[in-house]
Each structure stands twice: as C-alpha cells, then as structure tokens.
Structure 1
Amino acid sequence: MKAMLDLSGIKSGGGAQLATNFLAHIAGQGGTKMFEFILVSDKFPRTETVSDFSELVVAPSSIVGRLRFEHVELPCIARQHGVTHSYTFFGPGLPARTGLKQLVGVAYPTLVYDDSPYWDYLPPGFKVKKRAQNALRKARLRQADHLIFETDTMLERAKRAGLVTAGSSVIPPTPTAFLKASPPPHTGPVRFLILAGTDPHKNLWRLFEALPMIADEALDVRFAVSITRNAFLAAMVHPDPAKARLVDTYFEFLGALPPDRLQEAYDDATVVLNIADLESFSNNYMEAWLTGRPLLVSDRDFARDTCGGSAIYVEPHDIASLVSGLRQFAKGQAEIAAMVAEGRQRLKRLPTIEQRTSQILALLSGL
C-alpha cells in the first residue's frame, strides 16, 4: 500500500491541530514515511506544522483551479508516487479514480442537518451557494470506500441522508496534548471563552443581540472571543450602534490563537461557550473537559449526545433562553462541580491518540 494524506478540506486552526497531532504520533512511532505526500489547500493554516512529516502538495482553493488540479494534476502526481490509497482527514474526499481506495473522515454537519435553524437565518444567495456545495460534497462522499464519523449521531443522520453507501465507522476524536487541567479564576466577572470564527452557524451574532438584556440585568459576565473586534462587528446580522457601544464593555477579542496560547485562554476562563447550530464533535467540548471547565452550549441533539451532564443547554435563537443560561453562571446557580466531574468521565471514554491512529490505519490498509 502506498497512501497519500488529504488535508485539503481543512481551513481552520482546530482541524489543523488535530491533523498535526495525528502526524506527530505516526512520526513518533517511526512511521514518518507512512504517506507518500500530504495534500493541503493554499488556505491551510500554519503549513509549517505539517511540512516536516512528508512532501507537501498544495491545491488551489479557487473553484476553477481546484477542478483542474483534482482532475488533471493530482492524478499525475499520484501515479508518479504509485499511490493506491488515500485518507481524507476531514473533507469530501477526492474524485473517484480507478485503482484508488478512499477512506474519508466526515465532519460536515450541514450535509445531514436540513432541519437545522441554521438554514433559516442565511442570506438567500449564501443559502443557494451552500446547498449547491453540499450537493457536490454528498455526491463525492457516496463514492468513498469507507466513511469515518466522529459520533453515532452523525452516522445515523448520514444514513438517513443517504450518504453511507459503503463501509462506515465511528471513531471519536482524541483530546489535544497541549492542554491540562487548571483552577478557574476565583475573582472578577464570569468569563466565557468562545473559540470560534464568524461562520453563521456559530451564532456569535446572537450574543450581540443579547447585550441589552445582559446590561439591563447587570450580569457580571465577559466574553473572550478568538477573533478580532472588526471581524466580530462585520459579522453581525443586524448592526446596531447602541449594541455596538456595549461590545467593549462585555467582549475581549483575543484574535486567532496558536496552540501555545490556548492554555492561557483556558486558564483565564470560567466557562466554555459554544452556541452553534451545527457541530460534529467540537474541540471545545473536549478541551473544556480536559481543563476542568463547564460548558454552556446550544440545545441540539449533537450537543446533548456528546456533552450530557457536563453542560447547560440554551436555545441560541431565543434571547431569553440564552440570557437565562448566562444568568445561571453569573448568579452561582449552576452545578459547576458536577458538570466538571461529568466532563472528566466523558473524557475517559475517548480513545487515546494511539488507539485512534491504530484504528484509522487498520481501516486504510484493509480497503
């Protein structure tokens, strides 16, 4: 077997970190040359984190450039390397090709959540574009030889959506090795850590909408967000000068966080907040459990199935529900010790990096 590693679907720091952990473990086991080459997008964050593990092949992210690359250039490169297998870490996989066996990791909740409120709040033009993109991704995933999902919830929804046409497995992710448990701050406001971009499904705009109610109740809370102030304000669905004036009172903008700054961000946090409409298995959940933080999350099946009693659940599109969740932490009504204990138990159920890597490589070689 000669394999290539496809990371071209990864454009976020969280996905890049998981891929780096995977490669680092293989290298540590003497398998540096496991993959003939690694395929990344020209938008892959921090290519230096993976360039030491194998030859890098960079794919253009433009639609026309990507189509030409996948159908003309990539097959030539694969033949030159004698590639017979590919493993897509996260993404839709590659075009089907005779003689190429594909193992594909799926983490696209938009493909299986047609009933999500996410679709109700998208601009019409963006919604049409996203639906078309999803149709192409679904068609490609149906051609894969084996699909890997992170949760049973995602697998069952994928089956109902008709995505699973061949083999499938559930392999949960592995927590990062860069974080450790630490005591939360004992003084000052309740700090909610939000490690998210400005994608519409993350619902950061709902926190913006909630600011007047938070101010009226004088809740002693702050939000530390891993984006810039300008990016946050640009993503607001309903810009409002009155609410914008409250932003600097309640928000701290951390910008993009490299791995070596994550621990500090968690050390300063009281609660981890993720009110997304769509997730597969968010890094936020695992990292909250690992660092000993409770969670405030959206009331969705993926969140309840994954987090159980380690979180308080809110409806992000109901401002009263969202503020109620914030209030429980601000007023000391949340059972934090029990939530943290539940998180520790759920962390123990996740595979180690050794177990997860072994499962993936066994599936790849068995195709």
Structure 2
Amino acid sequence: MKILTNATALDSRGGYSVIHDFLYEISNKSNVLREKQIELTALVAKENLCKYETEQLKVIYEPYPKKSPIHKWKYENRILPSLIKANKFDFYLSLQNSGLPYLDIPQYVLIHQPIPFSDLKPKELELKNFIKYKVLLHSIYKRQLANVDGVFVQTSWMKEAIQRKYSYKKNIHIIRPAIQSIENNVSPLGSTHDKEFSRMETKLLYMTNREKYKNNAILIEAIQEWNAQNTNKVVLYLTLDGQSTEHIRYIGKIPYESIFKAYKSVDALIFPSLTETLGLPLLEAQEAGLPILAADLPYAREVCGSNAIYFNPRSKTAIMRSIGNFLKNRYARNPGQFHEKSILTSNDNYMDYIRIIHSHTDKYHGIAKTNEMLGGT
C-alpha cells in the first residue's frame, strides 16, 4: 500500500509545526508502517525535514510550488496528478487544508485553517488574508469537498463548522495529536526577559503575532483604559517587536526551550484571538497551571472548558471586566483547581491518520474489484 502525503505549502509557523510533528512521529513509529506493509512518501517545503526519512518513509524536498501562485496551481493540477499516476499511489493525504480537484484514488485532507469557518468581518483580516481564506479557500471547499473521501480536524467546533457550512456528509475524524509536554522547557529566559518579568504589577502574557484576527489593538486599548481608571495596574506582555510603554511591553518571541519558565513568570495568560483551530498557548497555559482569560468563542470553550474566565473579545468593556474578575478572585496557580480535562490529555497521534486510511483499503479495493468485474472504472 502506497500513500502520498503533500505538505509543500507548510513552511512556517503553525503549518510547519504540523508537518514537523507528523514526520517526527511517523519516523519514530516506522515499524508500524513496516508491519502494515505501507510505503509513505511525504512532499515537504523545508529541506531539513528530510532527516526523518526511514526505510518505510520517504521525504522529498519540493520547492517548486512555493515559487509563485502560478507554480502552485501548475504543481497541484498538472505535475502532482501525473506523479501520483506514474508511481501508482493508492491514497493521497493532504496536510495543507485542501485536496486535489481530480483524482482516481481516495484522498484525505487535514483542515487546520479556521478562518474560512469563522465569523470574522472583512475589517478583522488583512485584505490578502480575506481574499486567500474567505474567498479563494472557501471557493475551493465548495468545489472540492465532494471529492474528498475523509477529513481530519483537531476540534469538534471545526467538524461542526464544516458539516454546517458545506453540508459535508462523509467522515470527519477528530484527531487531536498529543501536545509535547513543555514542563522541561525551563531554560534561562535571558537578562532582558528576567528584568521584564521581575515587575511587581499583575503580569498578563499574550502569545501573539501581527495578524489582525489576533485582536491586539482592542486588547491594548482595554489594558490602557483599565490602568487609567484603576490604581491596581496591569502590565501586558506581547510576544511582538515594538516600542514599549510603561504597561504595554513588547518582548519579542520567547524561545521555545524557555516557554514553561515564561508561563511560570507571569500571573495569567490573556487570549483575545478572534479565531483559532485550538489555540496552542491555551493548552500550554493549562499545563503550567496558569490562570486564563480567553475569548468567549467555540475554540477556547472546547480547549479550556471551565478553566478560564471568558469575555467578548470585541468589547473593551468585557475585557476590562474579565481583568477585574481575575484580580478580585486571584485564582491560585494550581492545576488541581481545574474541573475539566484539557484536550492536552488526548491519546490520539498522527499515526491515527495512517491507521484510518489503511482501514479504507479493503473497502476501496473491494469497490475497484467489483467495478472491474462489471466492466466499469
């Protein structure tokens, strides 16, 4: 059985972490591939990922689709289908949110981009992201999903959104790969971060980036207004580069090897993002026993359950109210206080993708054999 996995678009941030973790796990469990007589080929956009190649896992660096949108279109509509046919692959697995328009073999798709399923308004996205995700990717789903044999997602809210928005009737599998523990990620933060986190005021951390949907602007306004109205000041730390003020501190990226130490150095995580697949910092903060103030949206409710103070992320007043609620209660940093388990405890893994595809084998070949007997295709 031969499976082709495409991840040629995943070269940065969350997308890269998906293919990295996928290959890392598959490489370490290649004995499962051998036992099931599976040959897995992965197409990647980062050459360093080739180090995970094993006898059963072939990793191919393919930069062609990243050259331009035209190259990507040609690769997925001309080159890749020809490659699949020439190498007689049995199944196609896309880890990059969309499948291929025409295939004679079953295909599965991992959908981990939440923007097409969110209620984001045009002003809450950069124009390029609105066009890319709300227009183009939405159009692709309308045309392609009917030809996709199975979909993988990481959360229930994504599954329900796909079913609701596109009336998808085939199998949607919720696979929540276990998140790597960060308890040992306590390397020194460095003198700059140590000095920042030594402040006596209440410290709120937001692990963020510059995308509009991260909702940085309204959070900053809420913090500024809170501090203008209250003597109990709050310091907001943003993992961005920028010009700091007294209570809005731009601290840049925190090294991953120090991330657990960073969580332990602040009083709470605040997370006003307007959409996420699941929100990795929400999982990490729970592992660190850190209080959480989060957007009252499906992704956060599913990940945090009762482990957070929720607020309307589009309302400064609501954000300020949640800060006041937190300061009033001063939740103890104690994992034992949590009443619901985080999906951090998931027993799923990336090998489950392969197991599910493998379980399709008998059904697929049975149909193919019946069609052949009947003279069909």
User: Considering the TM-score relative to the shorter chain, is it more than 0.5?
Assistant: yes
Match of 1:55 among 35, 48, 60: 60
Deviation of 1:297 (Å): 0.9
Q: Which residue pairs with 2:366 in the alignment? A: none
Q: Which residue pairs with 2:4 in the alignment? A: 4
Match of 1:350 among 341, 346, 349: 346
For the structure 1 residues 136 and 24, does the alpha-carbon distance in structure 2 shift closer, same or farther, using more than 3 Å as the test?
Answer: same
* Cα pair 1:91 1:107 within 8 Å, conserved: yes
Whether 1:172 aligns to 2:176 is yes
Give SS of 2:221's match. Answer: helix
Greater Cα offset, 269-278 or 31-40: 31-40
Q: Which residue pairs with 2:156 in the alignment? A: 152
In the alignment, the residues of structure 2 paired with residue 129 and residue 20 of structure 1 have an alpha-carbon distance, to the nearest angstrom, of 24
In the alignment, the residues of structure 2 paired with residue 2 and residue 124 of structure 1 have an alpha-carbon distance, to the nearest angstrom, of 40
Total equivalences in the alignment: 338
Whether 1:112 aligns to 2:125 is no
Whether 1:361 aligns to 2:354 is yes
Give SS of 1:5's match. Answer: strand
For the structure 1 residues 97 and 117, does the alpha-carbon distance in structure 2 shift closer, same or farther, using more than 3 Å as the test?
Answer: closer
Whether 1:289 aligns to 2:282 is no
Match of 2:247 among 232, 245, 250: 250
In the alignment, the residues of structure 1 paired with residue 28 and residue 338 of structure 2 have an alpha-carbon distance, to the nearest angstrom, of 32
Q: Which residue pairs with 1:133 in the alignment? A: 136
Taking only aligned residues, the RMSD between alpha carbons, in angstroms, comes to 3.1
Q: Deviations over 1:242-278 (max 9, x none)?
A: xx7xx42223334345533433433333322221111
* Cα pair 1:23 1:50 within 8 Å, conserved: no
Deviation of 1:315 (Å): 1.2
For the structure 1 residues 130 and 14, does the alpha-carbon distance in structure 2 shift closer, same or farther, using more than 3 Å as the test?
Answer: closer
Q: Which residue pairs with 1:194 in the alignment? A: 206
* Cα pair 1:118 1:200 within 8 Å, conserved: no
TM-score, with structure 1 as normaliser: 0.79
Give SS of 1:249's match. Answer: coil
Runs of at least 5 residues in structure 1 that lack an aligned partner in the other structure:
230-243
Correspondence 1:289-328 to 2 at 5 A: 289-328=286-325
Q: Which residue pairs with 2:363 in the alignment? A: none
For the structure 1 residues 348 and 71, does the alpha-carbon distance in structure 2 shift closer, same or farther, using more than 3 Å as the test?
Answer: closer
More contact order relative to length (CA 8 Å, sep ≥ 6): 1
* Cα pair 1:150 1:170 within 8 Å, conserved: yes
In the alignment, the residues of structure 1 paired with residue 252 and residue 50 of structure 2 have an alpha-carbon distance, to the nearest angstrom, of 22
In the alignment, the residues of structure 1 paired with residue 311 and residue 71 of structure 2 have an alpha-carbon distance, to the nearest angstrom, of 42
In the alignment, the residues of structure 1 paired with residue 51 and residue 80 of structure 2 have an alpha-carbon distance, to the nearest angstrom, of 18
Q: Which residue pairs with 1:206 in the alignment? A: 218
Whether 1:67 aligns to 2:80 is no
TM-score, with structure 2 as normaliser: 0.77
Give SS of 1:224's match. Answer: strand
Q: Identity of aligned pairs, percent?
A: 17
Q: Which residue pairs with 1:25 in the alignment? A: 25
Deviation of 1:326 (Å): 2.5
Larger radius of gyration: 2
Report the AA paired with residue 162 of structure 1. Y
* Cα pair 1:6 1:89 within 8 Å, conserved: yes
* Cα pair 1:289 1:347 within 8 Å, conserved: no
Q: Deviations over 1:126-171 (max 9, x none)?
A: 6455432232331333321100122222212211112524222112
For the structure 1 residues 85 and 259, does the alpha-carbon distance in structure 2 shift closer, same or farther, using more than 3 Å as the test?
Answer: farther
For the structure 1 residues 38 and 135, does the alpha-carbon distance in structure 2 shift closer, same or farther, using more than 3 Å as the test?
Answer: same
In the alignment, the residues of structure 2 paired with residue 125 and residue 60 of structure 1 have an alpha-carbon distance, to the nearest angstrom, of 17
In the alignment, the residues of structure 1 paired with residue 121 and residue 96 of structure 2 have an alpha-carbon distance, to the nearest angstrom, of 21
* Cα pair 1:309 1:339 within 8 Å, conserved: no
